[in-house]
A and B are shown apart, each in its own frame.
Chain A
Amino acid sequence: MKARKVMAGAAIVLATALVATACGAGSKDAGATTGELAFAHNKPWNFDAFSKVSKQDIDISLKSTQYSGDPYRAFIRQSFRTKESPGLFTWEVSTALDELAEQGVIAETTDLWTEAVDKGYVTDAVRQLYTVNGKQYCTPISVDDWVMFYNKSVFTKYNLTVPTTWDQLMQVAATLKQHGVTPFWNQTKNFSFVFFQTLLAGTDLQLYNDLSTGKAKYTDPRVVAVMNTWLDLQKKGYFNDPGQTDFARDLMREGKIAMAPEGTWFTADAALAGMTMGKDVDMFVIPPVKPGAATPIAIETAPVCVGESSKQKSLGLKFSQWWMSPQGQEPWVKQQGNMPFNTDAEAPTPEMKTLKTKLATGKYEYYNRYFEATPVPIRTVALEQFSAFLTNRGEPTQYLKAIQAAADEYWAGR
């Protein structure tokens, strides 16, 4: 009798617990536009400091939770199946954005974009990156350009001037090599695409774009030729050991490498390594391998998105709108030291001002960084294959074939 009572009691407790977790509070957007916004992200940036700024400006503070690594994506995807999809979270553009938009799990931001572009806060080119099937989703935290960062002291030491053509860049590299300094930085795994993108886009930007939409194949002889150029540079000893896991900023500070193609966010990295922009380190636009009408520049953009079914949808959208405007952008780029995407907003440092002016006055064509331009299943294989190519320094065809196999599989399912 006693036993039965205990078992019955336990069963009731369990049943209640199950029902409670399964149901939970209903998730309706509370409609609030001030308060504390739950923010999930996978960036190494200081959002607590930024939260103080936003609290002062629009009375919204950020409650940030940082996640790292690949499970972040799984976490966000799973959150849409619960009642707790985040009010604001960081994501990626391109196929990753398409997936969420097509499922209808993120809030549409078309109106915010129309207003922002009309007021000149952001260019139409950037809007294209956030467009899926004619509508916009998410808003940008930053739009970074990829330029060549270089150790200024090393350049001064060997009397080198900033190159403006590819031949000049190769001259600089040869001179550095002669003096025993490794010219360029490279690394396997997540950054193994960097020189592939630099060389391919600099040779034939249309081919680069066709690769990312499946119109061209990785086994195309023109791609093979670019890989052979890359192999040639490696054989000349122009790169550090790609297996080194040291940060580029530390290798540059120590003078172990002289130049590294990085996004303009690298200024924050350089500061972490104790290098001052303009004094120890500076940047120049990477000259194209084959000069054409416009110089290609890779851009990457970090979006923030709002969950469609989130209880904090209005709050998240208000914050996104503010962050995209100069009121939000200026303190942000001031904190980060990188380039604002508002053409009107002030660049935070003299070096950024110089770059901004240069980009505004010259002829440049922007392309999506390889990491974002390539669909995720292809990108995973490509990063593995590029890493193997860098490690083994051999004939590139086998690696390209493996990437193309993944590409064939992906595009066949479209």
Chain B
Amino acid sequence: MARSGATSYQGQARGFLLPSLALVLLVFYLPVLYTFYLSFTKYNGLGTPEFVGLDNFAAMFEDSAFLDAVRNTTIWVVGTLVLPVGLGLLVAVLAYGFRGSGWLRLPFLVPYALSGVAVGVIWSFMLGSGGALTQALQFLDLPGSELRWLQDSPLNTVVMVVAAAWQGVGVNALLFTVGLQSIPKEPLEAARIDGATGWRLFTNMTWPLLRPSTTVVVGLSIVNGLKTFDIVQAMTQGGPARSSETLALTMYRDTFVNSDYGLGSAVAIFLSIVTVGASIIYLRRQLSLSSNSLGGGK
């Protein structure tokens, strides 16, 4: 009796999931397979794709602009980990535990409501040649007004990381705040009684207990850093001369500007492998650490 009830429930659950699963398969996984297939072909959108084996991948790795894009994407990943995550953590820790702290976090959160393109447009206005920042530095007689923020590489990538950080700090602070709120009070009080304060308390007690939040935030930041597109496209379009291009932009340029679908697909597959690989490695390590730290037996 009970058993058939359970299986019928499972069957119903599967039935309800099926349409969504079909949608995801159709709209997401099938195109990914098709992109994988295209990466081994030469195709310009008309006629039929011509199989060329690994030529696209070879061409990709030999292109110096591609290697620059890899370098820029690495800067983005590192930058996204240091700035939005680091500053997010700082804001969360500093603005925690006292009355009205929610209001302190709010200004950081507002930019997150903007789209990447809107952020790009605003910051282009500030960082463009003769833009607001240059004028302000000149007015205040501070150094740096001769710097061409969006035109010299790798300075342009670094300032764009700052623009993205401006947007990303808020949501990371929010996630860390949630993490801080879920830390049980007892261990912290016990540590304080034992004499741990400030920095020592943070590194030895708070930080390890924050691991679930950290896993989420860092994992998301790695993935977001790797797939950076909209801010760079809105600010420099990867220029000048492809010096601020990231891998997602290389993929866009090859596919939509040059109509070289095979090469664009190869870049897309490369980026996907790197992103999935990084996520797997990171999450595996984090989750194995948590299961160890939560104590021995199962």
Which of A's residues lie within 8 Å of B, judged by CB?
1-4, 6-7, 9-11, 13-14, 18, 69-71, 73-74, 77-78, 80, 99-100, 103, 105, 188-189, 241, 243-245, 376-377, 380, 384-385, 387-388, 391-392, 399, 402
Contact = CB atoms under 8 A, between A and B. Distances in A.
Contacts of B148: 243, 391
B253 A77 contact: no
Contacts of A377: 258, 260
Contact of A245 (B16, B128, B242): B128
B45 A244 contact: no
B272 interface: no
Contact of A188 (B10, B46, B239): B239
B45 A74 contact: yes
B19 interface: yes
Interface in B249-298: 252-253, 255-260
Contacts of A376: 257-259
> Which of A3, A71, A77, A100 gathers most chain B CB within 10 Å?
A3
B7 interface: yes
A10 B19 contact: yes
Contact of A6 (B15, B26, B239): B15
A262 B150 CA distance: 27
A2 B12 contact: yes
A354 B140 CA distance: 52
Contact of B239 (A13, A70, A77, A387): A387
Nearest to A6: B15
Nearest to B252: A70
Contacts of A189: 237, 239
Contacts of A74: 45, 255-256, 259
B8 A103 contact: no
B14 A7 contact: yes
B132 interface: no
A100 B14 contact: no
A377 B243 CA distance: 18
B8 A385 contact: no
What range describes how many residues of B lie at the interface? Answer: 35 or more
A3 B10 contact: yes
A14 B27 CA distance: 13
Given A103-B47, A384-B240, 8 more contacts: A3-B8, A13-B19, A14-B18, A100-B46, A103-B46, A377-B258, A384-B239, A388-B240
B44 A99 contact: yes
Given A2-B12, A391-B240, A241 B130 contact: yes
Nearest to A385: B241
A259 B237 CA distance: 27
B22 interface: yes
B45 A243 contact: no
12 contacts: A2-B12, A3-B12, A7-B14, A10-B15, A77-B44, A80-B46, A188-B239, A241-B129, A243-B148, A243-B150, A244-B128, A392-B151
- Interface centre among B7, B18, B148, B255, by most A CB within 10 Å? B18
Nearest to B233: A69
B102 interface: no
B256 A71 contact: yes
A189 B218 CA distance: 36
A77 B19 contact: no
A172 to B, nearest CB: 25
Nearest to B150: A243
Contacts of B16: 6
B11 A2 contact: yes
A297 B75 CA distance: 46
Nearest to B129: A243
Contacts of A380: 253, 257-258
Contacts of A2: 8, 11-12
Given A77-B46, A387-B239, A388-B241, A3 B14 contact: yes
A243 B46 contact: no
A14 B30 CA distance: 15
Contacts of A9: 15
Nearest to B46: A103
Contacts of A70: 252, 256-257
A385 B150 CA distance: 16
Nearest to A71: B256
A2 B14 CA distance: 12
Interface string B99-119: 000000000000000000000
Given A77-B46, A377-B260, A243 B12 contact: no
Contacts of B128: 243-245
A1 B257 CA distance: 53
Given A188-B239, A384-B241, A391 B46 contact: no
A188 B16 CA distance: 54
Contacts of A188: 239-240
Contacts of A7: 11, 14-15, 18
Contacts of B252: 70
A70 B253 CA distance: 9
A388 B239 contact: yes
B99 to A, nearest CB: 46
A186 to B, nearest CB: 13
A384 B242 contact: yes
Given A100-B46, A380-B253, A14 B22 contact: yes
Contacts of B151: 243, 391-392
Contacts of B44: 77, 99
A402 B150 CA distance: 22
A366 to B, nearest CB: 28
B266 to A, nearest CB: 16
Contacts of B19: 10, 13-14
Contacts of A69: 256
